[in-house]
Chains A and B, each alone.
Chain A
Amino acid sequence: MDGGQKAPDDRPVRARRGDARAYESLVEEHQAIAFRTAYLITGSAADAEEAAQEAFVRAWLALRRFRRGAEFRPWLLTIVANEARNRVRGRRRREGLAERAAGELAWQAPVAELPLPGDARLREALAGLPERDRSVLGCRYVLDLGEAETAAVLGIAVGTVKSRTARALERLRAALGVAE
């Protein structure tokens, strides 16, 4: 063993071959982050729950397309984010609101508006940031996702995650009047 190197997770492959227990284990491990990601996008616990559940079903149906040896979590979170966005769009349509013309992510729930604890001043400053800044900070820090996972959720390149995170932090510091 070369120590330190993690063995590839064989559960997706086993699940693809019909091992229900393997997939159940994946669900148990990832349900919290799936729910949180969906919650951050939809801003609704009920929608997030449905989106996460549906995403797990879609992921299971798509296991044949899962690349052997790849990380399951970023792949799953991409599906979760898509499902959550679809629910936001559907809700907007139902509510008769116009679709946003642009933006790669319908980031419906600005972190600042979520009923989360924390510094009220920080939340207010977040609310004043552009949506793309809020979304990248939400993924990187509130959800504590890695850069690759953030890229998967937002549908952008890892390099873009890095540069966007740096700019967003800069703007947030400026809004709060604090130095780096």
Chain B
Amino acid sequence: MTLERDLRALGEGFPESPDLAARVRAATQRAGARRRGRRRVAVLALALFLLVPATALAVSGDLRERVLETFGLRDVRITEVTRLPELGPDARRLQLGPRVSLARARRDLAAAVSAPSLLGAPDGIYEQPLAAGVEVTFLYEPATVAARIGVRRRVLASIVRGTISRTVLGKTIAQATKATPFTLDGDPALLLTGAPHMMVFFRTGADSFDQVYTRLAGTTLLWQRRGLLVRIEGTLPKARLIGIARSIST
């Protein structure tokens, strides 16, 4: 057994093992926080939505029940379908609601929001009434965006408040649309890229849900931020969308 013993003796000269416990503890705490964030987003992205075919978005009692079942979640539901349903010409329109002043938007949203500082003053502020509040949108036309950040793209920066029990923003994505959940500054975020997706707003009446509008949307960042849902829509790189979202003061 001399040879085996001599081989074992080689193992006596390893460098001293570092003390990893404290670093592992810190790393697992960080990883745990990231995982919890991803879980929350994954719930948003996957648990999701009203498992109705996109072609059957007409509101029914059953749909309402399913919405109610998900009241524990906030603000956005995603459903994936093989292909999007045929949409009428209205779906190509922005349907942002009437133009309003910033003061009115702040009052109706009950938040001292401001336009994204990265883009500066918007071309217009619009307000889409919802039963439990409003969706405020800062609209930037391509020429404005080109002048501010050098990229000729239309950008919509929208903010929605409201609990899920009163307002539901639905998004229907085809398989060609990629939904990437991630955590942004510790809050759940979702990036929708690829093929356009269908965006549906619902509002709740006294005893029914009504579909407010349906339209096609392109690359979109969704970010649940301190009780508000921030949505940045525009064909821009993820980092730029994040920069715009972060520059919105709420």
Which A residues are within 8 Å of any B CB, using their own CB? Answer: 20, 23-24, 27-28, 31-32, 34-36, 39, 45, 49, 52-54, 56-57, 60-61, 111, 114-119, 122-123, 137, 141-144, 169, 172-173, 176, 178
Contacts and interface: CB of A to CB of B under 8 A. Distances in A.
A52 B24 CA distance: 9
Interface stretch (B8-16, B55-63, B192-200): B8-16
B17 A178 contact: no
Contact of A137 (B7, B9, B28): B7
A66 B72 CA distance: 31
Contact of A28 (B3, B21, B27): B21
Interface in B4-35: 4, 6-15, 17-21, 23-25, 27-28, 31, 35
A45 B15 contact: yes
Given A116-B12, A144-B11, 15 more contacts: A31-B17, A34-B20, A35-B14, A56-B20, A57-B28, A60-B28, A61-B31, A117-B12, A118-B6, A122-B7, A123-B10, A137-B7, A141-B4, A143-B11, A176-B3
Contacts of B14: 35-36, 39, 116
Contacts of A114: 10, 13
A141 B7 contact: yes
B231 to A, nearest CB: 31
A122 B10 CA distance: 9
B115 to A, nearest CB: 40
B4 to A, nearest CB: 6
A173 B25 CA distance: 45
Contact of B11 (A54, A116, A122): A116
Contacts of B4: 141, 169
A162 B176 CA distance: 51
Contact of A173 (B3, B8, B19): B3
A31 B23 CA distance: 12
Contacts of A178: 2-3
A37 B27 CA distance: 21
A116 B10 contact: yes
A178 B5 CA distance: 14
A54 to B, nearest CB: 8
**Considering residues A28, A57, A119, A176, which has the most beta carbons from chain B within 10 angstroms of its beta carbon?**
A57
List the 8 shortest-distance A-B pairs measured between CB atoms, nearest first.
A141-B7, A116-B13, A32-B17, A117-B13, A142-B11, A35-B17, A56-B24, A118-B10
Secondary structure at the B interface, as helix, strand, loop or mixed, is: helix
6 contacts: A49-B18, A57-B31, A61-B35, A117-B10, A118-B9, A119-B6
B23 A53 contact: yes
Contacts of A35: 14, 17-18, 20
**Considering residues B4, B28, B35, which has the most beta carbons from chain A within 10 angstroms of its beta carbon?**
B28
Contacts of A122: 6-7, 10
Contacts of A111: 10
A27 B10 contact: no
Contacts of B19: 31
A20 B7 CA distance: 37
**Considering residues A118, A123, A137, A143, which has the most beta carbons from chain B within 10 angstroms of its beta carbon?**
A118
Contacts of A23: 24, 28
B10 A142 contact: yes
Contacts of B11: 36, 116, 141-144
A39 B14 CA distance: 8
Nearest to B27: A57
**Considering residues B2, B14, B27, B35, which has the most beta carbons from chain A within 10 angstroms of its beta carbon?**
B14
Contact of A53 (B7, B12, B20): B20
Contact of B24 (A32, A57, A176): A57
A31 B20 CA distance: 7
Contacts of B12: 116-117
A115 B11 CA distance: 10
